[in-house]
């Protein structure tokens, strides 16, 4: 049914940042048919039933895009603190002890991210589904969760065929021989296995209901063999698909690049044909000035994940420099164990605040409007969906959210975008609409039975906590001191050409 959203404060998020103080939005056939001051006559002229949503007390905005998360971490929200990436990764993705879940369990895990997304005004998620087992059930479960909830989603097929010994610096020197032998024994899928798995998922799910995408997720350059990365580059071109890749998230990874490639990770990607406008670099923190210029020249995208970067102590993404160089910057929550939320309003707040630190030149600080742009058009561009979503414009998909002007954070209404970033919480989102379908109305989910799903998620997540997590802890335990030693050594390794904000203190690190 067509929908007429009446009399709202419309924030289009288009290139001119057009706003209508009391405007109408007409949605038909899943798209935005018109935007204007009064569309009652246009709605009547359709000659079909039209549902009217009274928005006189609402702000109407484009749906937010969460451009980077890992819904597979849903059962571990709040499980970790004070771990840098390399140590967190060992706990969350241990080489032994990862549970093999059923499709239904994968489905329920993804539901935690999907439902928090709808509740915080997200209409599209780019889900980097990092399930180590790489079984068909993982992606099938996640895909069904997005189909059932009504969200739009790009789901990656994770590609990761280099083990710890080949992707961490000093691993062969520091990890004891016996543990190295065990690590070498764990089976790793071949490039052909991965590409076959990708094609299976692509055939089954890509383009479903016009909402699902199956995209390429080489986990990180150092975690993929050269031929696997080259296969990705070729598929990205032949199928016009996004490549979604973690790049230079930590100082340790910058040291890794120097050790493995004798050049930076960005230079390595460019040489293999992976640095294009279809590529999204997740985090992209430890970049040299030359790297930034390269990413900008390629018109590549970067996902900025401020909550995760703060929690893991990873560093600060040079957002302004990247944008000035020509790169597109999107916003991501990152996974539920590193941020630990899928609430994009919280992520926008962090992004709007973080970049006011560290520079005396206040005119160059990041703003709330920058964070909003990253969370809308920036995300759309990272998904290669900039012509379909990211702003309210006639012809684009009807991905729309409504926020309640009576929320405390909107009183008085000075600037809806600033107040979205600084003042309100996700409870202010009343309606989430994707492709013209109302997924949440007055904060009630319409696409699924939320109470029933929540009960099932809670039971399954508790079982995971009780039975699976101890096995994960046991799988991580033997390697814990050695990964810590690798981390400390990497932190003490000089990195010429990089502004080293994380200079280790001699007492903290060198002494150990």
Label residue 31 exposed, middle or buried (CB < 10 Å: 0-12, 13-18, 19+).
middle
How do the residues of the chain divide into helix, strand and coil, expressed in percent and rounded to 5? 45, 20, 35
Closer CB to Zn ion, residue 175 or residue 329? 329
Residue 483 beta carbon to Zn ion: minimum distance, rounded to whole angstroms? 18
Residue 412 beta carbon to Zn ion: minimum distance, rounded to whole angstroms? 38
Closer CB to Zn ion, residue 58 or residue 71? 71
Q: Give me Rg for the CA atoms of the chain.
A: 23
Residue 282 beta carbon to Zn ion: minimum distance, rounded to whole angstroms? 5
Closer CB to Zn ion, residue 33 or residue 229? 229
Q: How many residues are recorded in the chain?
A: 512
Closer CB to Zn ion, residue 13 or residue 335? 335
Residues 75 and 160: their CA atoms lie apart, in Å, by 22
How would you label 368-401 residue by residue, b for 16+ Cβ within 10 Å and e otherwise? bebbbbbbbbbbbbbbbbbebbbbbeeebbbbbb
User: What φ, ψ does residue 408 adopt, rounded to 5°?
Assistant: -55, -40
Residue 496 beta carbon to Zn ion: minimum distance, rounded to whole angstroms? 27
Query: In the sheet that 152-159 helps form, which strands lie side by side, from edge to edge?
Result: 64-69, 122-127, 152-159, 212-218, 243-247, 279-283, 301-304, 328-331
Residue 307 beta carbon to Zn ion: minimum distance, rounded to whole angstroms? 12
Closer CB to Zn ion, residue 160 or residue 170? 160
Beta carbons within 8 Å of 410's beta carbon, 6+ residues apart:
59, 403, 404, 416, 419, 423, 424, 428
Residues 312 and 111: their CA atoms lie apart, in Å, by 24
Closer CB to Zn ion, residue 308 or residue 419? 308
Closer CB to Zn ion, residue 86 or residue 334? 334
Residue 334 beta carbon to Zn ion: minimum distance, rounded to whole angstroms? 5
Residue 456 beta carbon to Zn ion: minimum distance, rounded to whole angstroms? 26
Task: Give the H/E segment covering residue 417.
Answer: helix 416-422
Cite the beta strand spans of 160-242 per DSSP E: 212-218
Task: Give the H/E segment covering residue 329.
Answer: strand 328-331
Residue 161 beta carbon to Zn ion: minimum distance, rounded to whole angstroms? 18
Residue 392 beta carbon to Zn ion: minimum distance, rounded to whole angstroms? 29
Beta carbons within 8 Å of 143's beta carbon, 6+ residues apart:
153, 155, 201, 204, 205, 208, 212
Residue 310 beta carbon to Zn ion: minimum distance, rounded to whole angstroms? 14
Closer CB to Zn ion, residue 12 or residue 126? 126
Closer CB to Zn ion, residue 24 or residue 127? 127
Q: Is 289 helix (H, G, I), strand (E, B) or coil?
A: helix
Q: Nearest to residue 428, comparing CAs of 348, 497, 332?
A: 348
Q: Is 115 helix (H, G, I), strand (E, B) or coil?
A: helix
Instruction: Give the distance, in angstroms, between the CA of residue 236 and the centroid of all CA atoms in the same chain.
Output: 19
Closer CB to Zn ion, residue 32 or residue 112? 112
Residue 219 beta carbon to Zn ion: minimum distance, rounded to whole angstroms? 9
Residue 128 beta carbon to Zn ion: minimum distance, rounded to whole angstroms? 6
The DSSP result for 91-112, as a single string, is HHS-SS------HHHHHHHHHH
Applying CB under 5 A, which residues contact Zn ion? 334
Closer CB to Zn ion, residue 24 or residue 334? 334
- From residue 474, alpha-carbon distances to 83, 238, 470, 478 in Å are 17, 43, 6, 8
Residue 284 beta carbon to Zn ion: minimum distance, rounded to whole angstroms? 12
Nearest residue relative to Zn ion (C-beta): 334
Closer CB to Zn ion, residue 334 or residue 460? 334
CB 142 within 8 A of CB 204: no
Closer CB to Zn ion, residue 111 or residue 284? 284
Strand partners, 431: 402
Residues 305 and 341: their CA atoms lie apart, in Å, by 12
């Amino acid at each position: 049914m067509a929908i007429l959203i009446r009399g709202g404060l419309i924030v289009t998020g288009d290139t001119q940042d057009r706003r209508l103080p009391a405007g109408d939005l007409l949605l038909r056939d899943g798209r935005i048919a018109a935007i204007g001051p009064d569309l009652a006559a246009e709605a009547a002229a359709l000659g079909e039933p039209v549902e009217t949503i009274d928005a006189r007390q609402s702000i109407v905005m484009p749906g937010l895009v969460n451009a980077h998360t890992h819904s597979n971490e849903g059962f571990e929200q709040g499980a970790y603190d004070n771990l840098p990436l390399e140590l967190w990764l060992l706990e969350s993705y241990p080489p032994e002890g990862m549970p093999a879940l059923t499709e239904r369990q994968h489905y329920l895990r993804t539901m935690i991210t999907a439902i928090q997304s709808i509740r915080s005004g997200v209409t599209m998620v780019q889900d980097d589904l990092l399930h180590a087992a790489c079984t068909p059930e993982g992606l099938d479960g996640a895909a069904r969760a997005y189909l059932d909830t009504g969200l739009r989603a790009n789901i990656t097929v994770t590609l990761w065929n280099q083990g710890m010994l080949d992707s961490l610096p000093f691993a062969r020197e520091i990890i004891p021989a016996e543990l190295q032998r065990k690590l070498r024994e764990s089976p790793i899928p071949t490039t052909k296995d991965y590409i076959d798995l990708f094609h299976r998922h692509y055939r089954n799910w890509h383009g479903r209901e016009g909402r699902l995408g199956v995209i390429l997720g080489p986990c990180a350059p150092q975690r993929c063999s050269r031929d696997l990365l080259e296969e990705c580059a070729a598929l990205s071109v032949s199928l016009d698909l996004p490549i979604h890749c973690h790049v230079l998230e930590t100082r340790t990874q910058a040291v890794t690049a120097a050790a493995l490639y004798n050049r930076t990770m960005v230079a390595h990607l460019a040489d293999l044909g992976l640095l294009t406008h279809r590529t999204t670099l997740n985090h992209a923190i430890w970049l040299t000035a030359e790297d930034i210029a390269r990413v900008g020249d390629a018109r590549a995208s970067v996902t900025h994940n401020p909550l995760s970067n703060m929690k893991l102590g990873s560093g600060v993404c040079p957002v302004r420099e990247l944008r000035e160089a020509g790169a597109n910057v999107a916003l991501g929550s990152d996974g539920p164990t590193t941020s630990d939320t899928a609430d994009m309003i919280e992520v926008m707040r962090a992004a709007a605040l973080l970049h006011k630190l560290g520079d005396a030149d206040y005119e160059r600080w990041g703003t709330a409007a920058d964070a909003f742009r990253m969370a809308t058009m920036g995300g759309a561009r990272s998904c290669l969906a900039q012509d379909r979503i990211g702003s309210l414009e006639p012809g684009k998909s009807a991905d729309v959210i409504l926020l309640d002007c009576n929320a405390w954070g909107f009183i008085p209404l000075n600037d809806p975008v600033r107040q979205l970033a600084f003042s309100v919480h996700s409870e202010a989102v009343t309606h989430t609409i994707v492709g013209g379908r109302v997924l949440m109305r007055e904060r009630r989910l319409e696409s699924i039975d939320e109470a029933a799903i929540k009960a099932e998620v809670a039971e399954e997540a508790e079982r995971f906590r009780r039975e699976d997590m101890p096995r994960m802890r046991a799988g991580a335990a033997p390697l814990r001191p050695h990964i810590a030693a690798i981390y400390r050594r990497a932190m003490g390794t000089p990195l010429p050409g990089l502004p080293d904000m994380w200079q280790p203190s001699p007492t903290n690190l060198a002494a150990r």
